[in-house]
Amino acid sequence: MPYLGAAYLWVKAAHLIFVIFLMAGLFMMPRFFVYHHQCAVGSDEDRKWIDRERRLLKIILNPSLILVWVFGLMLMVEIGAWSFGWFHLKLLFVLGLSAYHGWIVSYSRKLALGLRPLTERRLRLLNEIPGVAAAVIVVAVIVKPF
């Protein structure tokens, strides 16, 4: 029994809008990390990158992740998505992106403490994760291969 009624398309639109915001942040932050790595620990530039990263997390990434989940769960219940195979694939990759978000939060804290545990090359490679996940999710949702 549908519960969203006429609000369904608004919820779907909101979900997609916040997915776009989330993905933008997930693409930006590892690039910020690469640039942050290039400055001296404790320098004025270091403090600026710490502030930029904090703002991106607080203003875009964290709220977007929460809203993506809220609207996504509403849509899941509305369409009974749990019974579809494509949804399980999507959910797996969404959980992976959520974990990636958690890693971003953790790594930004390490940078703020002056730690540089990963190389710039590794950060550039990690920057590819959201793109691959987005491609799989879009194919799963649009093509519905199973």
**Binding site for heme: which residues?**
15, 90
Q: Which helix (H) or strand (E) holds 47?
A: helix 44-55
Q: What is residue 101's three-state secondary structure?
A: helix
Distance CA 87, CA 59 (A): 29
Distance CA 25, CA 131 (A): 12
Q: Which helix (H) or strand (E) holds 93?
A: helix 85-112
Annotated binding-site ranges: 15, 90
Distance CA 137, CA 95 (A): 11
Distance CA 65, CA 136 (A): 18
Contacts (Cβ under 8 Å, ≥6 apart) of 92: none
